[in-house]
Amino acid sequence: MAEDARDRLARLHGEMRERICLMDWAPGTRLSEEGIAAEYGVSRTPIRRVLARLEDEGLVQSLHGIGTMVTDPGAEELAQTYALREELAELVGRLSPVEVGAAQRAEMAGFRAQGEALAQAPEARSFARLNMAYFAFGLSLTGNAVLREVAERLYYRTARVWLRQIAALDLAEECAVFLAELRETERALSAGDAMAAALVRRAHISMSVRRLMAAGAAGRAVD
Amino acid sequence: MAEDARDRLARLHGEMRERICLMDWAPGTRLSEEGIAAEYGVSRTPIRRVLARLEDEGLVQSLHGIGTMVTDPGAEELAQTYALREELAELVGRLSPVEVGAAQRAEMAGFRAQGEALAQAPEARSFARLNMAYFAFGLSLTGNAVLREVAERLYYRTARVWLRQIAALDLAEECAVFLAELRETERALSAGDAMAAALVRRAHISMSVRRLMAAGAAGRAVD
DNA sequence: TGCATAGTAGTTGTGCACAACAAGGCCGCG
DNA sequence: CGCGGCCTTGTTGTGCACAACTACTATGCA
């Protein structure tokens, strides 16, 4: 079997979401339905289906007669999203935490190793990709699928802004802090303590937000 | 100005969602895109746009060549959703709680009055509508729009199952319990304590889940 | 009678043409 | 020179026809 239409849309959605979150399509960018359709070799219809979902997720906004733009969350919305993300991060350790086994520890060690490599050669895009993959791993520590879905939704909503601000901050320092988080989490998982890992995550989200907010709204796309 | 296309879709979405949550379209029902389109006097296109959103929200599922069916969440998914809803209910009181003023107290008194009327003449559909409106009021007690959005999403995902189970339980007793919750919450809001109101809400969700689960999966639609 | 198979009806997914709409440029008029 | 209206261009929204796919039924054959 080649590929189900359902899977094709999911793949399209994932790719377009990544282009937004990695700032290939920065906030404010006007997307062309026809252009994207031509690029993927399909008609506007399935692209519109994906854009509709991205709009429901808050990543883009379509205006009749004007265009479809990548949204740029305001400071208030960002603060509210992060506030909720902090709570959800803690819930990952409290609601149906999985039993930490050898598989989790091995995967965690892999992330720590990648984190060390990144800290030696800081680079924004690699950082963003690793952060994304590590976030997914963190979610795998809860058995609550609904929580995973909601937390993922909110993560992708903040990812592009995080990446933009990271580039404005001291990239090397951010990578170093990230590596520290990875090491702390590895310690928690080695002890089999998923709740501790969740608390480490929450603490680092909290501190990350502080640094981001301190950097201010510099670099916000003009409307 | 007549109506924006955006608003029309939002209205369609709201109406169709209500038909699902009030069990006009019970779980398992096969929806006809063409039928709905004819009913609303539009083509399949905007209906498909709305159905796509409902599918992303988990209320319906479309299968190529088969049809679009109202989903019937399994016990596991329900449990996970309610577990998260409990936590979010508490967060309403913790994240950016609004200052409780005369307006909130007046609205709350209105709900309590409607609750008393309902308790005198229990009726499932009225109960569901009142519960829905009261839930929206509860969300208005937090200034965190993201939290409101997520909590609302999860509420509508459980509403239809709740209504089905309520009908199977002792309806009069459920209405009485609901009235008790309204009175407790009114007391909390009179004291200006939004956090207390949130905790009352959480407690009642928790107890409601217990009763629902105890009633078991009787009445589940067969696949 | 049992069963495989082709056919048929009904559904969602896709492509395409056109309508609805907004922004900017251009021309004519005061 | 200023400016108001028109027009042109580009975009998203809608309708419609057809393709892709599934379930069911009838039919012919052993």
Tell me, yes or no, whether A93 and A196 share the same domain.
yes
**Is the CB of residue A55 inside 7 Å of nucleic acid strand D?**
no
Give chain A positions within 8 Å (CB) of B146: 77, 80-81, 84, 154
Q: Which of A4, A84, A91 sits opposite B147 (nearest CB)?
A: A84
Tell me, yes or no, whether B178 and B80 share the same domain.
yes
In a domain, B168, yes or no: yes
Any idea which nucleotide's C1' is nearest the CA of A64? D12
Tell me, yes or no, whether A164 and A134 share the same domain.
yes
Tell me, yes or no, whether A87 and A107 share the same domain.
yes
Q: Cβ–Cβ of B84/A49 closer than 8 Å?
A: no
Maximum alpha-carbon separation in chain A:
57
- Which pair of tokens denotes residue B51? 């159905």
**Is the CB of residue A106 inside 7 Å of nucleic acid strand D?**
no
Is the pLDDT score of A154 beyond 70? yes
B155 min Cα distance to partner chain A (Å): 12
Tell me, yes or no, whether A192 and A95 share the same domain.
yes
In a domain, A206, yes or no: yes
Give the DSSP letter string of B57-73. Answer: TTSEEEETTTEEEE---
pLDDT digit string (tens) for A41-92?
999 999 999 999 999 999 999 999 999 999 999 999 999 999 999 999 999 9
In a domain, B202, yes or no: yes
In a domain, A93, yes or no: yes
**Domain of A12: which CATH number?**
1.10.10.10
Q: Which of B70, B103, B119 is the last residue of a domain?
A: B70
Tell me, yes or no, whether B94 and B193 share the same domain.
yes
Maximum alpha-carbon separation in chain B:
57
Q: Cβ–Cβ of B147/A52 closer than 8 Å?
A: no
Range of the domain at B121: 75-215
Tell me, yes or no, whether A61 and A106 share the same domain.
no
Tell me, yes or no, whether A188 and A92 share the same domain.
yes
In a domain, A222, yes or no: no
Tell me, yes or no, whether A56 and A88 share the same domain.
no
Tell me, yes or no, whether A178 and A94 share the same domain.
yes
Q: How far from A180 is each of A85, A115, A116, A165, A211, CA to CA, in Å?
A: 20, 9, 9, 20, 16
In a domain, A223, yes or no: no
CA of A206 to C1' of C15 (A): 48
Q: Which of B40, B70, B100 is the last residue of a domain?
A: B70
Q: Which of A25, A43, A70 is the last residue of a domain?
A: A70
Give chain A positions within 8 Å (CB) of B87: 87, 91, 95
Any idea which nucleotide's C1' is nearest the CA of A8? C13
**Is the CB of residue B214 inside 7 Å of nucleic acid strand D?**
no
In a domain, B223, yes or no: no
CA of B59 to C1' of D17 (A): 29
pLDDT digit string (tens) for B120-161?
999 999 999 999 999 999 999 999 999 999 999 999 999 999
Count how many domains chain A has: 2
Tell me, yes or no, whether B10 and B62 share the same domain.
yes
In a domain, B186, yes or no: yes
Crossing angle of helices A44-56 and A33-40, in 10° steps, is 120
Do B186 and B112 meet the contact criterion of CB atoms below 8 Å apart?
yes
* Strand C footprint nucleotides (protein C-beta < 7 Å): 10-17, 20-23
Q: What angle do CA B165, B175, B157 make, to 5 degrees?
A: 40
CA of A161 to C1' of D21 (A): 42
Instruction: Tokens 């994932």: give the residue.
Output: A14
**Per-position pLDDT tens, chain B of length 223:** 456 778 899 999 999 999 999 999 999 999 999 999 999 999 999 999 999 999 999 999 999 999 999 999 999 999 999 999 999 999 999 999 999 999 999 999 999 999 999 999 999 999 999 999 999 999 999 999 999 999 999 999 999 999 999 988 899 999 999 999 999 999 999 999 999 999 999 999 999 999 998 876 544 444 4
Q: Which residues contact B65 (CB under 8 A, 6 or more apart)?
A: none
**Domain of A98: which CATH number?**
1.20.120.530
Tell me, yes or no, whether B89 and B153 share the same domain.
yes
Any idea which nucleotide's C1' is nearest the CA of A48? D12
How many residues are listed for chain A in this entry? Answer: 223
